[in-house]
Chain A
Amino acid sequence: MKRLASYSFVLVSLLIGISILSTVTLGQSDWRQIPIRPLRAFQPKQPKRIQLPNGMVIFLQEDRELPLIDGTARVRGGSREEPATKVGLINIYGEVWRTGGTKAQTGDQLDDFLEIRAAKVETGGGVDSTTIGWSCLKDDFDDVFKIVADLLHEPEFREDKIEIAKQGEYDNISRRNDEIGGIAAREAVKLAYGPQNSYARVPEYATVAAVTRQDLIDWHHAHVHPNNIILGITGDFDSSAMEAKLRQAFTGWPKGPAVKKNEIQFQPAKPGYYVIPKEDVNQSAIRMVDLGTTRDNPDYYAIEVFNEAFGGGFSSRLFRDLRTVKGLAYSVSGGIGTAFDHPGIVRLSMGTKSQTTIEAIQGLYEEIDNLNKQPISDDEIKRAKDSILNSFVFNFDSPEKVLRERMAYEFYGYPADFLEKYRVGIEKVQTADVTRAGGKYLHKEKLAVLVVGNTSEFDKPLSSLGPVTTVDITIPPPPGEKPGEAK
């Protein structure tokens, strides 16, 4: 049901009220006669971009509706860059950067100071970046910002908080095979990218145990430099006063080395069937995956329209055929995945009762076959484009969304007017483009098909479809413990 949460920013005033009135040719009934005038002209406010001499990029987005000031600094470098022997490092760093406190104050002291002001300062670790963000009432900004600056410059990574973070990681590891949804999500990425791929791998007891305080300190010193940071602030402030404050705080901060990018290998699994047996369920989680593409691919716009028509939302083919008409699933979706700077994942997902597992897989196959037999029609394409374009305004209906998107384009090196390009790109998509995109990226015979479920209750053995590989998801025990020993 969601689309494009991502693209939000545009320079044009919006007269994109594409009325369905002009296009509908079916018989008349009430709703088609309701007039739809053009959308009110709207100029979304653009953030002010500032680049300091030391390379730090700052976006300031005033929003005076409420007396709040919120901000996020995104720092280049994330878990895809952590060493394979220390997977989990970035998760721990992302927590302890904040909980470990600063040279002057412990994390607990920061907690007390902030909570009594109903303010938050939080840090986090992601796949390609780490973040430090805050939210506060505007009168508390100076106090809260001082803490943010201290954490940027002098984090302490105290050992007691590292231990708590590690225990949290161990807990996650121990629970990761409890639910089929989680298992399917994790293992599908491994199939699409390869088990050792740095977007797919997950922390283990041993790799978490290997992380030391020195690793966190080293990571911080290697990455947290102004030239690796994009800072965005939104809320109730005056931009020029804020700019002066930030220049004063950050101009003296010297440049550091740029973040090195690792070469990442993508090695999709061999096409075929993969099974993970789980006895305590009555529903199977099915995932079909292959490597997708990036958003700077010229096919991107056709892919977006294809996804909308094929697997996104109430009116898509997958929802209609497998959920509404056949009643085989509550949850079914699919499409050609894209990402900013690495290939996304082609992924079809479905949950169905154990007894219709094979039927559901065949149903998904049929949908792919049908793309040839009954190519996506002009009407389906019109509908998909209407849906994307008429909801386009929701990409920038708040100053905070506009800011977030601008920061993403800056981070990934996309043009500042990418969202406007997106709108134009979608408008230009023709039926033939969509057919071509579907044919180019979605191939039945290239898919790795994963089923997590109660194999003894399947309608037919999975092997009736082809050779099956059983995926072992046994959690490697902590160092020094024997397999099977309860942790």
Chain B
Amino acid sequence: MKYRALRILIIFSVLISLAGAQDLASFEKRTTVKKLANGLTVLICERPEAPVFSFFTHVDAGSVQDPMGETGLAHMFEHMAFKGTDKIGTKNYAAEKVALEKVEKAYAAYRYERDKRVGRDNAKVKQLEKAWQDAVQEANQYVVPNEFGEIVERNGGEGLNAFTDDDETGYHYSFPENRLELWAYLESERFIHPVMREFYKERNVVIEERRMRTDSRPIGRLLEQFISAAFQAHPYHRPTIGWLADLNYFSATDAQHFFNDYYVPSNMVVAVVGDVKASEAMPVVEKYFARIPSHAQPDEVSTSEPPQNSERRVILREASQPVYLEGYHRPDYLDKDDAVYDAIADLMSEGRTSRLYRALVRDKKIASVSAGFTGFPGNKYPHLFAFFAFPLPGHTPHEIEDAIHAEIERLKKEDITDDELKMIKTRAKANLVRGLAENEGLAFQLGQAQARYGDWRESFRQVDRIDKVSKADIRRVANQIFVPTNRTVGIIENIPAASTNKGGQQ
């Protein structure tokens, strides 16, 4: 029910783990992968520490796949996946189905008239809007609100939620171990028979989500503008939550089409981690998930971002306190240097020994927080490596900019020290180990690696890749991408609201 893009700025370190061969060997014994006949991949990892399990359903479609003019649709469908099925959430599906078809007809007629650029008849718009609203009301009489969530909660589900980002959509919660079959039923049904009921009310809920995360937050406004400036051709330039006009445009039929196109079994990985035995659980999971009908995968996104040839700047003048952000284009996660970027992010940002903390917070005393991170706004396609800082009172984004650039220059001109390189590698190993202690996190990590690389073991091998990073690699990559023409800058400048004295700001 949420989307993740905006979290990145606040998350300080997001190193996903890696482990030594010994851990990988232990997981080899406990992990089973099966590709079902319909193309869906199931991963089961046995971790019988407590009588519970977590799952993560990874769908390889995110806001990048939103059709033109329908931004926000991937995230909208994610919300609809909580609305039930032809059996859950309805008092009479046969009648409801007819009523929902009427809603769609009425909405199409209303939208057609409403969006006419020439010759719109406003009286007719009003009348068609009412007809649509009446149809919605008629359909609503068949709805049992939130029955899907109710079943999950009533059965002890924990952490029922989902997220959509630019690259993917994920669904997750945890259950007591005796509910595996119930889970397999519920999770497969929502992707066999989703019903677009209460669509237009839920669209308003999503618009409220947009107001909360983007419109009413200065940093939300900055990130949206920054990303759209940094990407011009690739769909990363569009917000996952969607532009307001698009949210007010798309229909339940559009969401159903999105589902039909992208929720293809071969586009999905289901990872289950916890107190389950693969020998017993796999047949149960297969029984339910094999029912999802297979069909052809949609075409991949083919647009690629052309090389940036001039610096871009986005400056927001706000009543809030200043923020500095800059990003540089880098290749996607499959690039041979992927681990080098992870190493740079760690070096610049992790803990009080990090270069940005020591330079901007400890020594220059111009920022309260500063870090660099990669994978922005996603990482499946070429994306950004970004740096940010919050200037301390009395200091400006321009001072921050100079200080960050000084650190980047150091990275380009001097080798990092032996100790720094050791820290990066040791932390990568330790972080891997720390990530293995929770079902939820493991399900996400293994499921995502299975989806992204076709092999869950890659989440362990990332450690090996970081272990191979050299000082020369770091200088080479830094010199390659941290150049002014490859840069987009986003700034919030503070303008005092005192002139109006109404802003609740100082």
Q: Give residues in A with beta carbon < 8 Å to B.
A: 1-2, 14, 17, 20, 29-31, 34-40, 42, 44, 65-68, 99, 107-108, 111-112, 115-120, 135, 137, 163-164, 167-168, 170-172, 174-175, 177-181, 183, 276-283, 313-315, 319-320, 323-331, 351-353, 383, 386-387, 389-394, 396-398, 400, 452, 473-475, 484, 486-487
Contacts and interface: CB of A to CB of B under 8 A. Distances in A.
A327 B207 CA distance: 9
A34 B52 contact: no
B320 A330 contact: no
B212 A394 contact: no
A279 B497 contact: yes
Contacts, number: 261
30 contacts: A17-B176, A29-B88, A34-B182, A36-B181, A36-B182, A39-B176, A39-B178, A66-B437, A108-B362, A111-B351, A115-B351, A116-B419, A179-B218, A280-B319, A313-B149, A314-B82, A314-B153, A323-B205, A327-B204, A329-B205, A330-B208, A331-B208, A331-B212, A351-B211, A353-B208, A386-B156, A389-B156, A398-B49, A398-B438, A474-B506
Contact of A116 (B88, B186, B426): B426
A429 to B, nearest CB: 16
Given A170-B392, A179-B217, A314 B321 contact: no
Contacts of B205: 323-324, 327, 329-330
Contact of B496 (A29, A42, A180, A486): A486
Interface in B413-436: 419, 422-423, 426-427, 429-431, 433-434, 436
A167 B198 CA distance: 49
Given A99-B352, A314-B82, A383 B150 contact: yes
Interface stretch (B158-166, B337-345, B470-478): B158-166
A69 to B, nearest CB: 12
B117 interface: no
A137 B394 CA distance: 41
A17 B155 CA distance: 9
Contacts of A386: 154-156
B504 A452 contact: yes
A40 B274 CA distance: 13
Q: Chain B CB within 10 Å — which of A66, A328, A391 has the most?
A: A391
- Report, as a range, how many residues of chain B touch the other chain: 35 or more
B146 A314 contact: yes
B261 interface: no
Contact of A118 (B157, B204, B219, B431): B431
Contacts of B506: 174, 177, 474-475, 484
B275 interface: yes
A387 B156 contact: yes
Contacts of B157: 391
Contacts of A473: 504
Contacts of B494: 486
Interface in B175-220: 176-179, 181-182, 185-186, 189, 198, 200-209, 211-212, 215-219
Contact of B502 (A44, A116, A279, A389): A279
Contact of B181 (A34, A315, A330): A34
Contacts of B153: 313-315, 383, 387, 391
- Centre residue among B156, B205, B393, B429 by max chain A CB count within 10 A: B156
A2 B161 CA distance: 11
A65 B49 contact: yes
